[in-house]
């Protein structure tokens, strides 16, 4: 069996191993998944998170689903359909999840006549290809995005769109990494990103590990640091981008876009084309996941709100296209009108 390893996940023979992002930055703990149901739980429970990382993880989950099959050959297609559907339920907003599963399903449909061992090897190779492609894609996003970063810029980012949200390197943080690798000096301001604190726990940890200047701020400080002149650029990731450019990202992104517009600060989305859903006409059509209310009422095991309080906890909001300066992809930077520029990028991939 083949092997693959990155900062976010590792494939080893008959299991996929994730760094448990819930435990960072205090502990570096790893979770082993040997079944597609365990991968489903790892994605749903945010052991692994970030749209590109979720896509690659689901691909390996699909392989594990094939390895689990021990019934009559004529029942295999039905089993794999159930595997795909189960994995697809894990995080409904992240379009990369469905993109990766559909890619694996297409391969399976074309190779279903192979014997089980050959089929599993083919599916395994495809999952590894998806993972390696993601790293190359992120590096291209970083290179393209570094063009909008000036030496000395202060860059605000939200949530975690770094190596931990992808297979490696990152999208929004890939732009920052690439700029630093080119010798540009940058200061990063990382929103804490309530309620799950991906900015505080993950982005600050990643950037400190990479010796990149980072300052952690509370979410409600963003407007003030903009007014003080500390921020020259906002770069965030995305979990789904509609055909017109409306972009779903971690809750709080929409507020940042409004603040950036008010202060005359460029606001960029950095994401692979696999995050663009051309079948979704606009942001109103993007499904928004609502997560457990406990994420609001508790921080870890500590309760911070009264018992029984009503909560509203959507994981994402949608930033309308007209607040977005550009969408940085592996094919370049799309500019408004996005229904034209994004469609052209897809045309160039064929």
Catalytic sites, residue numbers: 239
Distances (CA, A) of 44 to 87, 153, 285, 328: 9, 36, 22, 27
Give the three-class secondary structure for 218: coil
The answer to whether 39 touches 68, Cβ cutoff 8 Å, is no
Instruction: Return phi, psi of residue 268, to 5°.
Output: -120, 145
Close Cβ partners of 150 (under 8 Å, ≥ 6 residues apart)? 184, 232
For residue 98, the tally of other CB atoms under 10 A from its CB is 20
> Element (H or E) spanning 234, and its range?
strand 233-236
CA nearest neighbour of 294 among 311, 279, 281: 311
Please report, for the chain, how many H helices and E strands are present, in that order: 12, 17
The answer to whether 105 touches 76, Cβ cutoff 8 Å, is no
DSSP state, residue 199: I
Peptide bond into 61 cis (omega under 30): no
Q: Report the C-alpha gap between 283 and 261 in whole angstroms.
A: 19
Instruction: Return phi, psi of residue 146, to 5°.
Output: -60, -20
Q: Report the C-alpha gap between 274 and 10 in whole angstroms.
A: 21
Residue with tokens 């297609």: 77
Structure-token pair, residue 236: 């965030």
Structure-token pair, residue 239: 């979990």
Residue with tokens 């030496």: 151
- Show the beta-strand stretches assigned E in 123-232: 154-157, 187-191, 214-217
Angle value at C-alpha 143, between 139 and 144, nearest 5 degrees: 115
Give the three-class secondary structure for 299: strand
């Amino acid at each position: 069996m083949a092997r693959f390893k990155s900062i976010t996940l590792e494939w080893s023979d008959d299991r996929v191993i994730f760094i448990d992002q819930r435990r960072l930055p205090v502990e570096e703990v790893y979770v082993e998944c040997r079944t597609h149901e365990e991968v489903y739980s790892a994605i749903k429970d945010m052991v692994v998170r970030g749209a590109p990382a979720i896509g690659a993880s689901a691909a390996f989950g699909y392989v594990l689903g094939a390895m689990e099959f021990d019934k009559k050959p004529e029942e295999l297609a039905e089993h794999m359909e159930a595997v795909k559907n189960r994995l697809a339920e894990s995080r409904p907003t992240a379009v990369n999840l469905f993109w990766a599963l559909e890619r694996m399903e297409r391969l399976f449909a074309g190779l279903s006549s192979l014997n089980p061992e050959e089929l599993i090897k083919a599916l395994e190779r495809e999952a590894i290809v998806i993972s390696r492609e993601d790293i190359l894609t992120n590096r291209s996003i970083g290179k393209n995005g570094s063009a909008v970063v000036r030496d000395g810029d202060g860059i605000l980012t939200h949530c975690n769109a770094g190596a931990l949200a992808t297979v490696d390197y990152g999208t929004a943080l890939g732009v920052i990494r690439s700029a630093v690798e080119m010798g540009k000096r940058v200061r990063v301001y990382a929103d804490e990103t309530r309620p799950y604190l991906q900015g505080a726990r993950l982005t600050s940890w990643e950037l400190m590990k990479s010796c990149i200047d980072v300052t952690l701020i509370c979410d409600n400080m963003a407007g003030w640091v903009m007014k003080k002149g500390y921020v020259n650029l906002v770069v965030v990731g995305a979990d789904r981008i509609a055909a017109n450019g409306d972009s779903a990202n971690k809750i709080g992104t929409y507020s940042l876009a409004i603040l950036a517009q008010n202060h005359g600060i460029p606001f960029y989305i950095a994401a692979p084309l696999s995050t663009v859903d051309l079948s979704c006409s606009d942001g109103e059509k993007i499904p928004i996941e609502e997560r457990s209310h406990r994420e609001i009422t508790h921080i870890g095991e500590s309760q911070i709100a009264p018992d029984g309080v009503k909560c509203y906890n959507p994981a994402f909001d949608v930033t309308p296209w007209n607040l977005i300066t550009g969408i940085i992809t592996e094919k370049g930077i799309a500019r408004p009108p996005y229904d034209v520029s994004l469609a052209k990028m897809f045309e160039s991939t064929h």
